[in-house]
């Protein structure tokens, strides 16, 4: 083998194990999921040894014809957009407040991380108890203040809001931490230059700090977006999708289709749709950030 | 091959029955002594000494009570029993996975009755009659007929009048363990204080519920489940049975739009109105707590709650509860449900598992498990005066068992999906999002589509 050829082949040889790993653990499962979405396959077929039946696009047709699935998409979009927007805003405000290095920053930071560290099942349970119509602490305070108790989890009007509030509670600290790190990384020189030029706090914020951490905000947004689309456990524990289907996000709808209705093919179709929505949204965000960066 | 052998066996069985009937006509005593059982003292418990079996079961009062007794079985038989206990919603997945392999991990499984048709239909579990027919395997003093008939039909029989019922052609696949029916539990103290009679009909239930919710501070009517999905469907089935409503008619056409079903839903709406706040979001735990914490005056649902009522750590109403028959509307039919045990077809030690199966549900072990909180599945236990003394609710239970309805829910393989669909619609009624008529009409076609695709109308 001559040197030139060896030079081109060797790097490939070295990366081959990594590529094989990625194929096996990532590409193959995704592709087989996509393939399964064109089949009718129940869990009991698997047990009996019956093969999946090819049904073309029927799964997708049934899904888009189903009122519950359409509601589920709607619920997911409302849930994801609300939590991402509120968490970014709140996280940013908190990060700006803490950025100056106030007293006891360490303590606050530790306290803020707590919600992220609690297991999702526990978060669901904590909030379920707090929202409890008779024994919950939230309605207790409302009554104490002379206000009407709120049917947090058992009215169609409130359930989704309550679920959103719980998610904001849990994940704002995550956004806060990322943004705080970003803000602290902004060069002092830039900010001082702004002050020298007579920038007000707001001008400094909007024209210096925020543009400087734009890419970090985008990363936080993408991470939260992806995570929010997949969130399942907290909602599962708090409402199990109810009342009716008013908090049934796509991932929960998928879970129920796969494990309650035992329709693995149709569940795969939901997964494919979820993947498509996520790819679309996150690629839009990534492309925009990159473009902004280049400017 | 297997089928054919089964048929021959069935023929032999039929012949045996005919002969036995003839004998009985001749002289009952002779038939009783027919030599297909060995004498109790001659039964060979140690025939499978040294073998190992695996038992998969849920965290549930019945199984928590029998699990500590299993070492005695090991001592008696020399069989090693490995136990695999898990949350009951996880059983299904791991059982299906294990049972679809050539050689399974499990030799004995506890299944929710909802799964029996799916398992038996797929050949995942074994018919039990061939075991009972072999004298060296059948425990002599087992007394099968003492097992509550409705429970046996509901947990064990497959392929009779309907796929999930007994009748002609039905085969036995499971034995009840942790099975239950429903009845009324009420707050004796409150009923006495306000001079209220125990309701016998659904109209009276409505009246009592209205009274407590309107007249008594901090006490509401009925503790009911209502959460979207399985829980709401369960509550509906529980009341649909007395109101005479059902999910399907005899041609598998949806029947839940019937006037009886609408009436059931109207009743449930009233119970939400007169119930504690959040009734429409209660799962079984929420329902239990509402009654156990003294929020409601009544509870109509699974009899398994008695263990909790008696436990002062879980209940604020220990000693204040009376029991009565499930109230009547058009019928007085109550629930059948809960768990049964079965032997997977790919079990590696089915005969040893069969010994454990009988031992666990034998009269003596049942008695001891019941004393430790398990729900009874034998007539002799609920009718025993000593037990009735200790568990006053057994008197009511003994009577209620006459009304336990084995056809309480359609346990067809498609039930998992329909259960959820129906439960969403019922929950929408309870939260007031839809009228009963509207909600039932909206879900009729989707459910019919499921049945159509499964081939029920061909």
The answer to whether residues A88 and A14 belong to one domain is: no
The answer to whether residues B82 and B200 belong to one domain is: no
The answer to whether residues B374 and B302 belong to one domain is: no
Residues A209-232 have a mean pLDDT of 89
The answer for residues whose C-beta is within 8 angstroms of residue A2's C-beta and 6 or more apart is none
Q: B401: pLDDT confidence band, cut at 50, 70 and 90?
A: very high
The DSSP line for B386-451 is HHHHH-THHHHHHHHGGGB-TTSS---TTHHHHHHHHHHHHHHHHTTSS-HHHHHHHHHHHHHHHH
Question: What was the pLDDT predicted at B36?
Answer: 60
The answer to whether residues B227 and B322 belong to one domain is: yes
Task: Count up the domains in chain B and report the number.
Answer: 2
> Are B417 and A43 within 8 A, CB to CB?
no
> Are A243 and B228 within 8 A, CB to CB?
yes
Task: Give A-chain residues touching B421 at CB under 8 angstroms.
Answer: 68
Provide the token pair at B148.
Answer: 């509550």
Residue at A1 is within a domain: yes
Residue at B28 is within a domain: no
The answer to whether residues A127 and A255 belong to one domain is: yes
CA distance A73 to chain B (A): 16
Which residues in B89-200 belong to E strands, given as ranges?
A: 108-112, 157-158, 171-172, 175-180, 182-187
Number of residues assigned to chain A: 295
Choose from B102, B423, B431 for mutation: most chain A CBs within 10 A: B431
Residue at A44 is within a domain: no
The answer to whether residues B244 and B202 belong to one domain is: yes
Nearest CA in chain A to B117: A44
The answer to whether residues B225 and B360 belong to one domain is: no
Residues 47-86 of A with CB under 8 A from B: 47-49, 66-68
Q: Which of A134, A153, A261 faces B416 most closely, judged by CB atoms?
A: A261
> Are A244 and B122 within 8 A, CB to CB?
no
Question: What was the pLDDT predicted at A188?
Answer: 84
Task: Identify the domain containing residue B422 by its residue range.
Answer: 182-335+414-453
On the question of pLDDT at B334 being above 80, the answer is yes
- Cβ neighbours, 10 Å, residue B192: 11
Residue at B409 is within a domain: no
Residues A21-29 have a mean pLDDT of 89
Task: Give A-chain residues touching B279 at CB under 8 angstroms.
Answer: 154
Residue at B301 is within a domain: yes
The answer to whether residues B228 and B174 belong to one domain is: no
The answer to whether residues A111 and A19 belong to one domain is: no
pLDDT digits (tens, 9 = 90+) for A59-102: 999 899 888 899 999 999 999 999 999 999 999 999 988 887 67
The answer to whether residues B441 and B423 belong to one domain is: yes
Residue at A18 is within a domain: yes
Provide the mean pLDDT of chain B: 89
Choose from B120, B123, B281, B427 for mutation: most chain A CBs within 10 A: B281
The answer to whether residues B316 and B358 belong to one domain is: no
CB–CB contacts below 8 A, A to B? 94
On the question of pLDDT at B89 being above 80, the answer is no
The answer to whether residues B146 and B211 belong to one domain is: no
Task: Count up the domains in chain A and report the number.
Answer: 2
Residue at B138 is within a domain: yes
CA distance B149 to chain A (A): 29
The answer to whether residues A31 and A72 belong to one domain is: no
Nearest CA in chain A to B429: A244
Q: A47: pLDDT confidence band, cut at 50, 70 and 90?
A: low
A153 touches chain B (CB under 8 A): yes
Angle made by CA atoms A166, A170, A171, in degrees to the nearest 5: 120
CA distance A262 to chain B (A): 7
Provide the token pair at B365.
Answer: 């072990």
Q: Residue A33 belongs to what H/E stretch? A: helix A28-36
Residue at A20 is within a domain: yes
- Cα separation, B283 vs B229, whole angstroms: 10
Question: What was the pLDDT predicted at A186?
Answer: 86
CA distance B99 to chain A (A): 7
Backbone angle region of B45, left / alpha / beta, with phi > 0 → left and psi within -120 to 50 → alpha: alpha
CA distance A248 to chain B (A): 10
Question: What was the pLDDT predicted at A84?
Answer: 95
Residue at A77 is within a domain: yes
Least reliable range by pLDDT among A107-111, B139-143, B283-287, B328-332: A107-111
- Cα separation, A189 vs A85, whole angstroms: 30
- Cα separation, B46 vs B425, whole angstroms: 54
On the question of pLDDT at B59 being above 80, the answer is yes
The answer to whether residues B324 and B380 belong to one domain is: no
Question: What was the pLDDT predicted at A291?
Answer: 80
On the question of pLDDT at B96 being above 90, the answer is no
The answer to whether residues A25 and A75 belong to one domain is: no
Nearest CA in chain B to A152: B278
> Are B417 and A154 within 8 A, CB to CB?
no
pLDDT digits (tens, 9 = 90+) for B11-55: 444 444 444 444 444 333 333 444 466 777 788 999 999 999 999
Q: B3: pLDDT confidence band, cut at 50, 70 and 90?
A: very low
Q: Which of A67, A156, A240 faces B431 most closely, judged by CB atoms?
A: A156
C-alpha gyration radius of chain B: 23
> Are A261 and B420 within 8 A, CB to CB?
yes
Residue at B328 is within a domain: yes
Provide the mean pLDDT of chain A: 88
Task: Give A-chain residues touching B100 at CB under 8 angstroms.
Answer: 46-49
The answer to whether residues B284 and B374 belong to one domain is: no
Is beta strand B108-112 parallel, antiparallel or unpaired with respect to B52-58?
parallel
Is beta strand B182-187 parallel, antiparallel or unpaired with respect to B157-158?
unpaired
The answer to whether residues A165 and A225 belong to one domain is: yes
Residue B134 phi/psi, 5-degree rounding, is -90, 115
The answer to whether residues A24 and A118 belong to one domain is: no
The answer to whether residues A5 and A145 belong to one domain is: no
Choose from A39, A41, A44 for mutation: most chain B CBs within 10 A: A44
pLDDT digits (tens, 9 = 90+) for B416-456: 889 999 999 999 999 999 999 999 999 999 999 999 988 89
The answer to whether residues A1 and A147 belong to one domain is: no
Residue B66, preceding peptide bond in cis (omega within 30° of 0) = no
Residue at B7 is within a domain: no
CATH for B67: 3.40.190.10
The answer to whether residues A25 and A137 belong to one domain is: no
Distance (Å) of CA A204 to CA A193, A209, A292: 10, 6, 19
Question: What was the pLDDT predicted at A1?
Answer: 57
The answer for residues whose C-beta is within 8 angstroms of residue A151's C-beta and 6 or more apart is A133, A157, A158, B277, B278
Residues A236-261 have a mean pLDDT of 89
On the question of pLDDT at A263 being above 90, the answer is no
Residue at B15 is within a domain: no
> Are A261 and B413 within 8 A, CB to CB?
no
The answer to whether residues A18 and A137 belong to one domain is: no
Q: Are residues B352 and B79 in contact, defined by beta-carbon separation less than 8 angstroms?
A: yes
The answer to whether residues B120 and B139 belong to one domain is: yes
Task: Give A-chain residues touching B276 at CB under 8 angstroms.
Answer: 133-134
pLDDT digits (tens, 9 = 90+) for B99-148: 888 888 999 999 999 889 888 888 899 999 999 999 999 999 999 999 99
CATH for A94: 1.10.3720.10
Residue at A190 is within a domain: yes
Residue at A52 is within a domain: no
The answer to whether residues A22 and A73 belong to one domain is: no
Residue at A54 is within a domain: no
Question: What was the pLDDT predicted at B394?
Answer: 93
On the question of pLDDT at A144 being above 50, the answer is yes
Residue at B6 is within a domain: no
Nearest CA in chain A to B423: A244
Interface of B with A (CB under 8 A): 93, 96, 99-100, 118, 121-124, 227-230, 276-281, 283, 290, 293, 295, 413, 416-417, 419-421, 424, 427-428, 430-431, 433, 442, 446
Task: Identify the domain containing residue A26 by its residue range.
Answer: 1-36
> Are A156 and B433 within 8 A, CB to CB?
yes
């Amino acid at each position: 083998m001559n040197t030139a050829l060896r030079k081109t082949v060797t790097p490939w040889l070295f990366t081959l194990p990594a590529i094989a790993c990625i194929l096996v653990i990532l590409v193959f499962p995704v592709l087989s999921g996509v393939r399964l979405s064109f089949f009718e396959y129940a869990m009991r077929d698997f047990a009996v040894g019956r093969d999946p039946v090819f049904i073309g696009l029927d799964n997708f047709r049934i899904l888009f014809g189903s009122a519950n699935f359409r509601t589920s998409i709607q619920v997911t979009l409302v849930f994801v957009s609300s939590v991402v927007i509120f968490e970014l805003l709140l996280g940013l405000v908190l990060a700006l407040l803490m950025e100056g290095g106030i007293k006891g920053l360490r303590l606050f930071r530790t306290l803020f991380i707590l919600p992220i560290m609690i297991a999702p099942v526990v978060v669901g349970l904590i909030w379920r108890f707090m929202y409890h119509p008779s024994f919950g602490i939230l309605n207790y305070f409302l009554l104490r203040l002379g206000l009407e108790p709120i049917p947090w989890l058992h009215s169609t009007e409130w359930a989704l809001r309550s679920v959103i509030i719980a998610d904001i509670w849990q994940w704002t600290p995550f956004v806060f931490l990322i943004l705080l790190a970003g803000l602290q990384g902004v060069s002092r020189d830039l900010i001082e230059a702004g002050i020298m030029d007579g920038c007000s706090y707001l001008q400094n914020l909007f024209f210096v700090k925020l543009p400087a951490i734009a890419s970090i905000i985008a990363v936080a947004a993408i991470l939260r977006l992806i995570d929010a689309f997949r969130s399942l456990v907290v909602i599962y524990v708090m409402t199990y999708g109810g009342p009716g289907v008013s908090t049934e996000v796509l991932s929960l709808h998928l879970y129920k289709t796969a494990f309650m209705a035992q329709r693995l093919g149709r569940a795969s179709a939901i997964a494919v749709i979820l993947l498509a929505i996520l790819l679309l949204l996150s690629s839009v965000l990534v492309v925009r950030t990159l473009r902004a960066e280049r400017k | 091959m297997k089928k054919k052998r089964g048929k021959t066996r069935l023929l032999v069985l039929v012949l045996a029955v005919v002969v036995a009937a003839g004998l009985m006509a001749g002289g009952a005593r002779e038939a009783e002594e027919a030599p297909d059982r060995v004498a109790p003292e001659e039964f060979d418990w140690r025939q499978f000494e040294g073998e190992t079996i695996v038992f998969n079961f849920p965290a549930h009062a019945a199984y928590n009570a029998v699990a500590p007794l299993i070492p005695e079985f090991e001592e008696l038989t020399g069989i090693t029993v490995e136990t695999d206990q898990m949350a009951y919603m996880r059983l299904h997945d791991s059982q299906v996975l294990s049972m679809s392999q050539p050689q399974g991990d499990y030799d004995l499984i506890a299944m929710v009755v909802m799964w029996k048709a799916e398992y038996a239909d797929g050949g995942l579990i074994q018919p039990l009659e061939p075991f009972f027919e072999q004298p060296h395997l059948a425990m002599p003093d087992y007394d099968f007929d003492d097992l509550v008939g409705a429970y046996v039909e509901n947990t064990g029989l497959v392929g009779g009048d309907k796929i999930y019922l007994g009748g002609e052609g039905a085969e036995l696949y499971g034995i009840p363990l942790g099975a239950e029916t429903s009845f009324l539990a009420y707050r004796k103290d409150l009923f006495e204080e306000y001079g209220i009679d125990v309701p016998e009909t659904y109209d009276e239930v409505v009246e009592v519920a209205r009274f407590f919710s309107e007249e008594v501070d901090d006490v509401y009517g009925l503790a009911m489940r209502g959460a979207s999905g399985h829980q709401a469907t369960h509550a509906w089935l529980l009341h649909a049975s007395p109101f005479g409503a059902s999910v399907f008619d005899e041609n598998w056409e949806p029947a839940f739009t019937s006037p009886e079903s609408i009436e059931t839903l109207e009743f449930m709406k009233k119970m939400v109105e007169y119930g504690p706040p959040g009734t429409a979001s209660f799962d079984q735990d929420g329902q239990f707590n509402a009654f156990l914490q003294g929020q409601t005056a009544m509870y109509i649902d699974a009899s398994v709650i008695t263990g909790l009522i008696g436990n002062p750590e879980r209940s604020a109403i220990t000693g204040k509860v009376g029991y009565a028959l499930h109230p009547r509307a058009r019928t007085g039919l109550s629930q059948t449900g809960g768990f049964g045990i079965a032997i997977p077809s790919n079990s590696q030690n089915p005969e040893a598992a069969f010994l454990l199966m009988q031992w666990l549900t034998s009269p003596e072990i049942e008695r001891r498990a019941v004393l430790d909180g398990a729900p009874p599945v034998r007539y002799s236990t609920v009718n025993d005066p000593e037990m009735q003394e200790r568990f006053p609710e057994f008197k009511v239970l003994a009577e209620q068992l006459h009304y336990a309805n084995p056809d309480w829910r359609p346990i067809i393989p498609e039930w998992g999906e329909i259960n959820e669909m129906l439960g969403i619609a019922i929950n929408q009624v309870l939260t007031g999002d839809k009228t009963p008529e509207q909600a039932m009409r909206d879900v009729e076609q989707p459910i019919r589509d499921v049945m159509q695709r499964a081939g029920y109308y061909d």
